[in-house]
């Protein structure tokens, strides 16, 4: 108790210095939490974009080897209609399944009669596609089997508008040239510059006709939001293997290179930022308490002469460090909430690299991160205090009493 | 058996590569209830001797006995505990904790010992009354005069009912009148409470106040004058 009393009163006595240290901790705390809140929203946006925008769902089931060699020998990795039916039955037994969507990809040329350009197409059933992408405004229509969606950049290149008639050219799985008429339903923005000028979304039956097959190369599964994709994969793999399927199951994070790259970049930046804040907090506390020890050598000597043990002296300065850390963090919580809400209220937008859309700069205030950072920085502050505190405790009493 | 017994005690300090002797083979006994003074010029070894008796320093040779116990084998924590229970300190510079009130400063040795706040409060209040500072209980040290600060220090030294109070130059930072008042106060407490006092001074005006005057010179006891006051 005496340690806390002395710690708090000495902090108050040197309030200008204490305030400077508190501000250093608070700024560091707010920087960590604001950035954590920002990347949390970025990750959430990218996750939503990958699962629902790109339509990756939570899991993709394909024949083993498809992901490595499927583009070279696509005919080897196509599920037959019977296999698709059996897969559908097995997958629907899994808890939390919302949508099962067989997919077939194709690439080739698309032409408006005057101009031809390359396309990459994704064939899926209109109903499944619309349920996986509920927020996308451009939808496939079950009533129009020869109509598809063009990415905005591709539509611009071809000068196509809804209702425009186009032609798609490609090779069937057997290697024959094939062409089909295509009506443009509408355009959508893929969100990434790399794909926005060449993407098509088509009905599965259309792509099957284009490739002359009745099968599909993979099956995408969407679970409810609470489902952990890795856990679902772990549960599914033995069931499918037992049913005779030699398949490779990938989660959406496995398939979204962009998500993984962005996440690893932001995680690294966060680690860098956290390391800097960690060092700043550590040095601020060590510096403040070292000064405090220097100024209170006689006081330390007096306390020791009156019977305080070395660990009692350590506890005084450890309490001072912990109090500085805790108060700095509380100030940091306040700063995080105020600045975070200020940023969200300001509706600031920016266009990230390789994105074709401006996005909203938003910051999530994350209670778990706030509490975690508060505990961590308080402990760091206490540990930082230990070095000057131990030095104080080991000053010889005679030297301390004679200190001027 | 004496309350304090020093047997062939020496203390050397190291200044660079040179060993400087501060005390050389000192033998001294302090009896219970004594009011004794160490007298001598600066550098004679008064403070070194008080530091050894106060268990804040270790002798280079010889032994220090307190209440029939050899203090040589005690570890740091045991020495701290013994200081807290058996010894009261009054310092030349008062050494009050600036962020604590007069009352809290007096309570401090009991607080360090872990005594309940209520008990410590009652004991400190009583000791402050004994040094006539009840009205200043909640004043911080910077709101007290030098004499008042030293009275608080005396109250703090007495609050644990120690076997001995050690005062190193208690009047050095006070004017002559206040210095005499502090010595008179200590003397009065010595008479009334039977507490042993040992203080150092080089002020010749104070030597008439003591039971026994121990003269130090060059780290050795030169003379011991018994019954000075009588």
Q: Nearest residue of A to residue B53 by CA position?
A: A305
B1 three-state secondary structure? coil
Residue A354 is predicted with a pLDDT of 65
Q: What is the pLDDT of residues A353-385, one digit of tens each?
A: 766 678 888 999 999 999 998 888 888 888 888
Q: What is the mean pLDDT of chain A?
A: 90
Q: How far apart are the first and last CA of chain B?
A: 24
Contact B57 A6 (CB under 8 A): no
Residue A383 is predicted with a pLDDT of 85
Please tell me the number of Cα atoms within 13 Å of A42 on its side-chain side: 23
Contact B99 A309 (CB under 8 A): no
Contact A307 B99 (CB under 8 A): no
Q: Nearest residue of B to residue A394 by CA position?
A: B76
pLDDT at A328 exceeding the cut of 70:
yes
Mean pLDDT to the nearest integer, A222-241: 87
The Cα B222–Cα B44 span in angstroms is 10
Q: For the range A51-54, what are the long-range contacts, defined as Cβ-Cβ under 8 Å and sequence gap of 24 or more? A: A51/A132, A51/A222, A51/A252, A52/A132, A52/A133, A52/A134, A52/A135, A52/A136, A53/A133, A53/A135, A53/A136, A53/A190, A53/A191, A54/A190, A54/A256
Query: At residue B190, what are phi and psi to the nearest 5 degrees?
Result: -60, -45
Q: For the range B103-107, what are the long-range contacts, defined as Cβ-Cβ under 8 Å and sequence gap of 24 or more? A: B103/B128, B103/B137, B103/B138, B104/A5, B105/B141, B105/B152, B105/B153, B105/B156, B106/B152, B106/B155, B106/B156, B106/B159, B107/B159
B11 three-state secondary structure? strand
Contact A307 B89 (CB under 8 A): no
- Mutate: best of B92, B99, B153, partner A, most A CBs <10 A: B99
Q: Nearest residue of A to residue B109 by CA position?
A: A306
Contact A305 B54 (CB under 8 A): yes
Q: What is the mean pLDDT of chain B?
A: 89
Q: What is the pLDDT of residues B39-98, one digit of tens each?
A: 888 888 999 999 999 999 999 999 999 988 899 889 999 999 999 999 999 988 889 999
Q: How confident is the model at residue B229 (pLDDT cuts 50, 70, 90)?
A: very low
Of B81, B91, B111, the CB nearest to A2: B111
Q: How confident is the model at residue A53 (pLDDT cuts 50, 70, 90)?
A: confident
Q: What is the pLDDT of residues A262-295, one digit of tens each?
A: 899 999 999 999 999 889 888 888 888 888 888 8
B138 three-state secondary structure? coil
Residue B227 is predicted with a pLDDT of 59
* Whether the Cβ atoms of residue A72 and residue A184 lie closer than 8 Å to each other: no
Give B112's contacts in chain A (Cβ within 8 Å).
Answer: 2, 303, 306-308, 312
pLDDT at B228 exceeding the cut of 60:
no
* Whether the Cβ atoms of residue A139 and residue A130 lie closer than 8 Å to each other: yes
Residue A94 is predicted with a pLDDT of 87
The Cα A215–Cα A81 span in angstroms is 5
pLDDT at A239 exceeding the cut of 50:
yes
Question: Residue A199's Cα: distance from chain center in Å?
Answer: 25
Q: How confident is the model at residue B182 (pLDDT cuts 50, 70, 90)?
A: confident
Residue A403 is predicted with a pLDDT of 59
The Cα B8–Cα A401 span in angstroms is 25
Taking a contact as any Cβ pair under 8 Å apart, which residues of chain B between 118 and 177 contact chain A?
A: 156
Residue A205 is predicted with a pLDDT of 94
Q: Is B95 exposed, middle or buried (0-12, 13-18, 19+ CB in 10 A)?
A: buried
Q: In what order do the strands lie in the sheet with B18-30?
A: B18-30, B4-15, B61-66, B69-70
For residue B18, give the H/E element and its range. strand B18-30
What's the complex ipTM?
A: 0.93
Q: How far is A289 from chain B (nearest CA, A)?
A: 16
Taking a contact as any Cβ pair under 8 Å apart, which residues of chain B between 16 and 35 contact chain A?
A: none
Residue of A45, A46, A352 lying closest to A193 (CA atoms): A352
Residue A356 is predicted with a pLDDT of 67
pLDDT at A110 exceeding the cut of 80:
yes
Give B54's contacts in chain A (Cβ within 8 Å).
Answer: 305
Q: How far is A335 from chain B (nearest CA, A)?
A: 31
* Whether the Cβ atoms of residue A364 and residue A269 lie closer than 8 Å to each other: no
pLDDT at B230 exceeding the cut of 50:
no
* Whether the Cβ atoms of residue B144 and residue B152 lie closer than 8 Å to each other: yes
% of chain B residues with pLDDT over 90: 56
- Lowest-pLDDT range of A220-224, A329-333, B220-224: B220-224
- Would an 8 Å CB–CB cutoff place B218 in contact with chain A? no
- Measured CA distances, A236 to A61, A77, A386, B50 (Å): 10, 20, 52, 82
SS3 track for chain A: CHHHHHHHHHHHHCHHHHHHHHHHHHHHHHHHHHHHHHHHHHHHHHHHHHHHHCCCCCEEEEECCHHHHCCCCHHHHCECHHHHHHHHHHHHCCCCEEEEEEEEEEEEEEECCCCEEEEEEEEECHHHHHHHCCCCCCCCCCCCCCEEEEEHHHHHHHCCCCCCEEEEEEECCCCCEEEEEEEEEEEECCCECCCCCCEEEEEHHHHHHHHCCCCECEEEEEECCCCCHHHHHHHHHHHHHHCCCCEEEEEHHHHCHHHHHHHHHHHHHHHHHHHHHHHHHHHHHHHHHHHHHHHCHHHHHHHHHCCCCHHHHHHHHHHHHHHHHHHHHHHHHHHHHHHHHHHHHHCCEECCCCECCCEECCCCCCHHHHHHHHHHHHHHHHHHHHHHHHHHHCCCHHHHHCCC
Q: In this predicted model, which residue has the larger pLDDT, A204 or A1?
A: A204
Mean pLDDT to the nearest integer, A88-96: 91
Mean pLDDT to the nearest integer, A173-191: 91
Q: How far is A326 from chain B (nearest CA, A)?
A: 21
Q: In this predicted model, which residue has the larger pLDDT, A403 or A382?
A: A382
Contact B99 A312 (CB under 8 A): no
B30 three-state secondary structure? strand
């Amino acid at each position: 108790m005496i340690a806390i009393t002395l710690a708090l009163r000495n902090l108050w006595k040197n309030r200008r210095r204490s305030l400077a240290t508190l501000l250093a901790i608070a700024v560091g705390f707010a920087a960590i939490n604001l950035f954590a809140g920002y990347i949390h929203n970025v990750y959430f946006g990218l996750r939503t974009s990958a699962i629902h925008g790109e339509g990756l769902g939570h899991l993709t089931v394909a024949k083993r080897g498809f992901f490595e060699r499927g583009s070279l020998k696509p005919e080897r990795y196509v599920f037959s209609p019977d296999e698709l039916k059996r897969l559908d039955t097995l997958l629907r037994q899994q808890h939390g399944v919302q949508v099962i969507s067989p997919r077939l990809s194709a690439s080739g040329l698309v032409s408006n009669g005057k101009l031809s350009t390359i396309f990459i197409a994704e064939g899926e059933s209109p109903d499944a596609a619309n349920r996986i992408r509920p927020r996308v405004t451009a939808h496939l229509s079950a009533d129009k089997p020869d109509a598809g969606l063009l990415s905005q950049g591709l539509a611009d290149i071809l000068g196509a508008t809804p209702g425009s008639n186009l032609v798609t050219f490609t090779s069937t799985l057997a290697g024959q040239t094939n062409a089909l008429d295509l009506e443009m339903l509408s355009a959508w923005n893929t969100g990434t510059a790399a794909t926005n000028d060449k993407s098509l979304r088509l009905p599965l039956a259309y792509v099957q006709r284009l490739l002359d097959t009745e099968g599909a190369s993979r099956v995408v599964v969407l679970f409810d939001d609470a489902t952990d994709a890795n856990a679902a994969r772990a549960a599914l793999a033995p069931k499918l293997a037992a049913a005779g399927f030699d398949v490779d199951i990938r989660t959406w994070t496995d398939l979204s290179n962009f998500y993984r790259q962005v996440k690893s970049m932001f995680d690294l930046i966060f680690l860098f930022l956290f390391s800097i804040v960690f060092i700043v907090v550590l040095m601020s506390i060590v510096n403040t308490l070292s000064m405090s020890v220097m100024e209170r050598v006689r006081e330390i000597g007096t306390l020791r002469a009156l019977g305080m043990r070395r660990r009692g002296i350590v506890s005084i300065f450890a309490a001072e460090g912990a109090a500085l850390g805790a108060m700095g963090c509380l100030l940091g919580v306040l700063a995080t909430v105020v600045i975070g809400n200020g940023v969200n209220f300001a509706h600031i937008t920016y266009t990230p690299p390789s994105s074709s859309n401006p996005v909203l700069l938003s910051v999530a205030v994350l209670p778990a991160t706030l509490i975690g950072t508060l505990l961590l920085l308080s402990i760091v502050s206490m540990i930082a205090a230990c070095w000057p505190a131990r030095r104080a405790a080991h000053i010889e009493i005679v030297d301390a009493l004679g200190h001027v | 058996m004496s309350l304090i017994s020093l047997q062939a005690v020496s203390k050397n300090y190291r200044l660079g590569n040179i060993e400087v002797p501060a005390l050389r083979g000192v033998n001294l006994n302090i009896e219970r209830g004594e009011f004794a003074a160490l007298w001598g010029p600066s550098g004679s070894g008064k403070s070194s001797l008080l530091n050894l008796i106060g268990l804040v320093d270790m002798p280079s040779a010889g032994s220090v006995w307190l209440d029939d116990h050899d203090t040589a084998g005690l570890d740091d924590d045991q020495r701290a505990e013994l200081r807290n229970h058996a010894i009261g300190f009054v310092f030349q510079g008062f050494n009050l904790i600036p962020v604590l009130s007069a009352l809290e400063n007096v309570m401090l040795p009991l607080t360090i010992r872990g005594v309940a706040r209520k008990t410590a409060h009652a004991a400190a209040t009583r000791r402050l009354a004994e040094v006539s500072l009840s009205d200043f209980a909640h004043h911080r040290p910077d709101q007290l005069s030098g004499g008042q600060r030293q009275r608080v220090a005396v109250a703090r030294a007495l609050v644990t009912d120690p076997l001995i109070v050690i005062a190193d130059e208690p009047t050095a930072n006070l004017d002559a009148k206040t210095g005499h008042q502090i010595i008179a106060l200590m003397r009065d407490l010595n008479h009334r409470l039977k507490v042993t006092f040992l203080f150092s001074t080089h002020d010749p005006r104070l030597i008439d106040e003591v039971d026994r005057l121990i003269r130090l010179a060059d780290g050795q006891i030169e003379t011991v004058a018994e019954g000075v006051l009588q």
